[in-house]
Amino acid sequence: MPRGAAPPRETAVGIIGGGPAGLLLARLLHRAGVDCVVLESRDRDYVEQRQRAGILEQGTTDVLRACGAGERLDREGLVHDGIELRYDRRAHRLDFPALTGRRVTVYAQTEVVKDLIALQLADGPPLLFGARALAVTGADTDRPRIHYAHGGREHTLTCGYVAGCDGFHGVARQAVPESARRTYTRGYPYSWLGVLADAPPAHDELVYAHSERGFALLSMRTPTVSRLYLQVPNGTDPADWPDERIWDELQARAAVDTAPWNPVRGPLTAKAVLPLRSSVTEPMRWGRVLLAGDAAHIVPPTGAKGLNLAVADVTVLARALVHRHRTGSAELLDGYSATCLRRVWRAEHFSHFMTTTLHTAPDQSPFDTRLQLAALDRIAGSRHAAAELAENYTGLPLP
Ligand code: RFL
Ligand code: PHB
């Protein structure tokens, strides 16, 4: 919104949250001629720098390209044909095109968000930074309202529909009355220590490593920047993990007997501890409020599903809102929650499977470890089991 312009008071679709879900929804609606406004509580810099996801399913890159956000993605994204599983000091590669005909792309969430913000500010609908939604009222009327704070004052945005894209800690979920809302959730007895390293990736594809010392993930951002994760106990203070300790631990957990593995150790430029959680709130629609992305569900990051699920939700949602706009029919909006939840629960299952198969719980028995190794051996030894993992990882077709 230009500096000094009056805050918008009315729109067809009020979008709370300028993360990937909210920004992509705005882009899809704008291209179809549906008027919308995005309210984002943080400033632009914060939203663009927030370190998060790194892997895009093929369906996600297709959607980004189709809405004009694919130019830099195609230039800078790293297309990957597989991942490596390491366990029991052995390495097993999964060849995605051979197993599924699909690939994934390494392109950071920060870059997706930067691309979508640039497009929206250039020719898109209003995007207000520093605009914090306080509450949504009238969800079950035909004019729901978003009450928000912006520029030290409170305002009201009256909408045809409200899209709650405000993440796990947002307020939109509360528009669904408690008596009608059910949240299914589970925590995990470990967290991830995530770091960025000014060091070339130690391997040309992602490595997921099971070890009795705990899980490790070797990922990347660019050919010169690595993104690395270690399983750590809940409540870990990153200050207890100086750089050399992190490199030593990565090396110990990802070691294999077949080849020496000596990653180049560069300076670590970011360090944070991230708790892991699974959660789904049902239904994803109440009256004229529709929830999408992390506002409705979160997964532990082991399956790389969170951002991709958010993209799938808003693709379905945009189609339903455009249909409503063009034909007056709410038929697709009526099916929105059920359509999305099928994919959501599939991703919840896969993310839970990847997490519990690859991490070592604090109270894990030797029997539990043997079961994990049997599951990993099955993936390494059976094309069917490998294809099951690869299909989920590269992404099921969009509904
Ligand atoms: P976001 O990104 O949390 O955006 C929500 C936005 O809403 C704003 N907001 C509000 N705005 C206005 N008023 C309010 N009251 C508001 N409350 C909140 C917030 O400031 C924010 O800008 O949710 P969205 O758009 O649904 O996107 C979801 C993804 O961010 C998330 O699922 C992924 O990052 C998860 N994830 C991964 N997903 C993948 O697909 N592949 C991966 O490789 C992957 N790796 C990860 C991840 C998440 C991680 N963390 C930090 C949990 C790795 C990590 C470490
Ligand atoms: C990442 O690069 O941040 C990343 C990759 C794969 C995951 C999780 C995170 O499963």
Residue ranges and CATH numbers for the domains of the chain are 10-80+103-185+277-354 (3.50.50.60)
Q: Is the model's pLDDT at 52 over the cut of 90?
A: no
Does the annotation mark 305 as catalytic?
A: yes
Q: Would you say the CB of residue 230 lies under 6 angstroms from ligand 1?
A: no
Task: Considering the candidates 107, 148, 161, 208, report the single residue annotated as catalytic.
Answer: 208
| Burial label, 42 (beta-carbon count in 10 A; 0-12, 13-18, 19+) | middle
Does the annotation mark 271 as catalytic?
A: no
Does the annotation mark 92 as catalytic?
A: no
In sequence order, the 6+-apart residues with CB closer than 8 A to the CB of 85 are 91, 92, 93, 94, 208, 209, 210, 376, 379, 380
The bridge status of strand 104-106 relative to strand 78-80 is antiparallel
Q: What is the CA radius of gyration of the chain?
A: 22
The two structure tokens encoding residue 23? 């920004």
Which of the listed residues 307, 309, 314, 351 should we mutate to test ligand 1's pocket, taking the one with most ligand atoms within 8 A of CB?
A: 307
The two structure tokens encoding residue 336? 């929105």
| CA-closest candidate to residue 292, choices 311, 279, 305 | 311
Q: With bands split at pLDDT 50, 70 and 90, how would you rate the model's confidence at 322? A: very high
* CA separation for the pair 18, 41 (Å, rounded): 8
Q: With bands split at pLDDT 50, 70 and 90, how would you rate the model's confidence at 53? A: confident
The tens digit of pLDDT for each residue in 252-287 reads 999 999 877 788 999 999 999 999 999 999 999 999
Closest ligand to Cα 117:
1
Closest ligand to Cα 274:
1
Q: For 43-77, give one letter per residue: b (16+ CB within 10 A) or e.
A: ebeebeeebbbbbbbbbbbbbbeebebbeebeeeb
> How far from the centroid of its chain's Cα atoms is residue 158's Cα?
29
Q: Would you say the CB of residue 310 lies under 6 angstroms from ligand 1?
A: yes
The tens digit of pLDDT for each residue in 102-126 reads 999 999 999 999 999 999 999 999 9
Q: Is the model's pLDDT at 399 over the cut of 90?
A: no
Which ligand 2 atom is the nearest neighbour of the CA of 227?
2
Does the annotation mark 80 as catalytic?
A: yes
Q: Would you say the CB of residue 173 lies under 6 angstroms from ligand 1?
A: no
pLDDT number for residue 202: 87
pLDDT number for residue 366: 97
| CA-closest candidate to residue 38, choices 122, 130, 109 | 130
Task: Considering the candidates 155, 210, 297, 305, report the single residue annotated as catalytic.
Answer: 305
Q: Is the model's pLDDT at 245 over the cut of 90?
A: yes
pLDDT number for residue 257: 92
Compute the C-alpha angle 107/166/298, nearest 5°. Answer: 65
Rounded to two decimals, the pTM is 0.96
* CA separation for the pair 399, 391 (Å, rounded): 15
The two structure tokens encoding residue 219? 């990922």
